Amino acid sequence: MVLSQQRAPLVEAIRSYLGEDICRLHMPGHKGREEMPFLSAMADLTEVHGLDDLHRPEGAIKEAQELAAAAFGARETFFLVNGASAGIIAAFLALAKPGDKVILPRHVHKSVFNALVLSGAFPVYVSPAYHPVLNIPVGVSLEAWEEAWKTHPDSKLMFLVHPTYEGITSVDGDLIKKAKERGLKIIVDEAHGGHFPFHPSLPPSALALGADVVIHGSHKTTGSLTQSGMLHLGTSLQPELFQAALSLVQSTSPSYLLMASLDSARRKMVLEGEQKLAETLKLTGKVRDEIKAVKGICLWHEELYTYSEVKGLDPTKIIIDGLELGLTGYQLAGILRESHGVQVEVASNTHLLALFSFADGWEQGDKLVQSLVAISKSCGNRKPLPIAPAGLGLPSPQVVVSPRHSWFAPKKTVPLEKAAGAVCGQLLVPYPPGIPLLCPGELITNQLVDLLLSLRGFDLQWQGLHEPGLKTIQVLA
């Protein structure tokens, strides 16, 4: 391939996508339809007089963060310009010492593994229950948490996901209360739930439930720009520890566009959020009712409450499958994009996920419904697909070496078929949603090898692979 410096391939790709007039049922929440008067090259500024300094806020940024804290019910709030991932890493750096045990569910984002490497903390994983058809985590039972508390009474932290990528939460006030009674500090990844405080029909925010630290990926649901987020302190922790930790993981040239978008999104959610979200919930309710009538399309929502682990659902997320039409989630998503101009957030072998926000209206909802109606008619004669093996999920990991030690340890590359019995030396992450199947320091079992081999045939996007095709894997030498 001959490189031409006259090209700007990313700019060209963005222009091409915008030119397709795609119905965006994916992040970010503003969907490209919200007005952002500050969004121009003129507003791309730096720490000059009057614009304050993110790493030592005393003026406008300090006031903006104080307004955000008041809006979300926090004692203190910090703006994030390296995404929610930076907030998660900073929380670990502020609260965990090398060797400290952290109790956490297995279905965490890969940024948590990065936090374990950088902080030196040691993970105690708790396995969630999985949906037998969708093969997504529906949550961790209280009994499973209690077993972890009993087995590892010396743990210092507990990390929770509220909600999952699919909008499912298994966190409630009782869980957090019982964990705190055992002396645990509670960090919550609420990256997908920044809108929760602004409408009573949504699940309660983790701050309202009593969490110590809550991290938001604000761009996902509240309308700020991608890569922006917030870290909230819910209890009387030392803010200076978090300010120092954030200085380690955030740029020294923070984007004023990102920070301004956080300030603007907060104002909009406070002033208009409840009304806008009420309209969104009405919209998604109507979309669900319409989808239920589409032959061969299965809608998943209320049925998820049959699992005792499920404490709440985010109605702005729509989960559907086309297995009865003989379509995998990947195939259904592909037809929606290529034939109907609808881009969903994510697809799997079983289902797909469409995201609605306050920036959507019936035009977008009807576009999805009519596209599914057309697909139902064109694929109605296909043979239904068998349901995947029940409860595949993620095998419970056996952590034999700390993530930090394994990160720096010597490694070698072996064929995947011959990796059983070795200790993993790399991250294997299907993305999205970014939940690792394998992390450095974990024992590679025959079950894991079989699972990875079975995934070779799927059109997955992998992060962490050193060569395409899942042919080899790095292990500790």
With contact defined as beta carbons under 8 Å apart, do 253 and 46 qualify?
yes
Using alpha carbons, select from 80, 7, 88, 19 the residue that is nearest to residue 434: 88
**How far is 79 from 59, CA to CA, in rounded Å?**
14
**How far is 280 from 283, CA to CA, in rounded Å?**
5
pLDDT for 39:
72
With contact defined as beta carbons under 8 Å apart, do 131 and 388 qualify?
no
Residue 392: Cβ-neighbour burial (10 angstroms; 0-12, 13-18, 19+): middle
The 8-class DSSP code of residue 205 comes to P
pLDDT for 391:
43
Greatest mean pLDDT among 6-10, 86-90, 110-114, 425-429:
86-90
Query: Which amino acid type is present at position 59?
Result: G
Q: Is the peptide bond before 436 cis (omega within 30 degrees of 0)?
A: no
* Domain positions in the chain: 65-263, 277-379, 398-476
Query: Which band of pLDDT confidence, cut at 50, 70 and 90, is reported for residue 463?
Result: confident
Alpha helices (H) in 152-255, listed in sequence order: 173-181, 206-209, 218-221, 239-249
Coil/strand/helix, residue 189: strand
The 8-class DSSP code of residue 254 comes to -
The 10s digit of each residue's pLDDT in 60-69 is 999 999 999 9
pLDDT for 431:
64
CATH number of the domain located at residue range(s) 65-263 in this protein: 3.40.640.10
The 10s digit of each residue's pLDDT in 168-205 is 999 999 999 999 999 999 999 999 999 999 999 999 99
pTM of the prediction?
0.93
**How far is 309 from 144, CA to CA, in rounded Å?**
10
Token duo for residue 174 = 């009782």
Same fold, 277-379 and 398-476: no
Token duo for residue 465 = 């692979």
**277-379 CATH, one of 1.10.3720.10, 3.30.420.40, 3.90.1150.10, 3.40.50.920:** 3.90.1150.10
**How far is 77 from 66, CA to CA, in rounded Å?**
7
With contact defined as beta carbons under 8 Å apart, do 125 and 104 qualify?
yes
Q: What is the mean pLDDT of residues 414-434?
A: 85
Q: What is the mean pLDDT of residues 149-173?
A: 97
Provide the CB-side half-sphere exposure for 216 (13 A, CA). Answer: 32
Query: Which band of pLDDT confidence, cut at 50, 70 and 90, is reported for residue 36?
Result: confident
The 10s digit of each residue's pLDDT in 368-401 is 999 999 999 999 888 888 775 544 556 678 899 9
Residue at token pair 């296909």: 382
Token duo for residue 377 = 């008619």
pLDDT for 390:
46
| Strand 352-355 with 317-321, pairing | antiparallel
pLDDT for 101:
98
Query: Which band of pLDDT confidence, cut at 50, 70 and 90, is reported for residue 432?
Result: low
The 10s digit of each residue's pLDDT in 209-230 is 999 999 999 999 999 999 999 9
pLDDT for 41:
72
If you classify domain 398-476 with CATH, what class do you get? alpha beta
Rounded to the nearest integer, the mean pLDDT of the chain is 92
Coil/strand/helix, residue 145: helix
Backbone angles phi, psi at 359, to 5 degrees: -85, -5
**How far is 408 from 425, CA to CA, in rounded Å?**
9
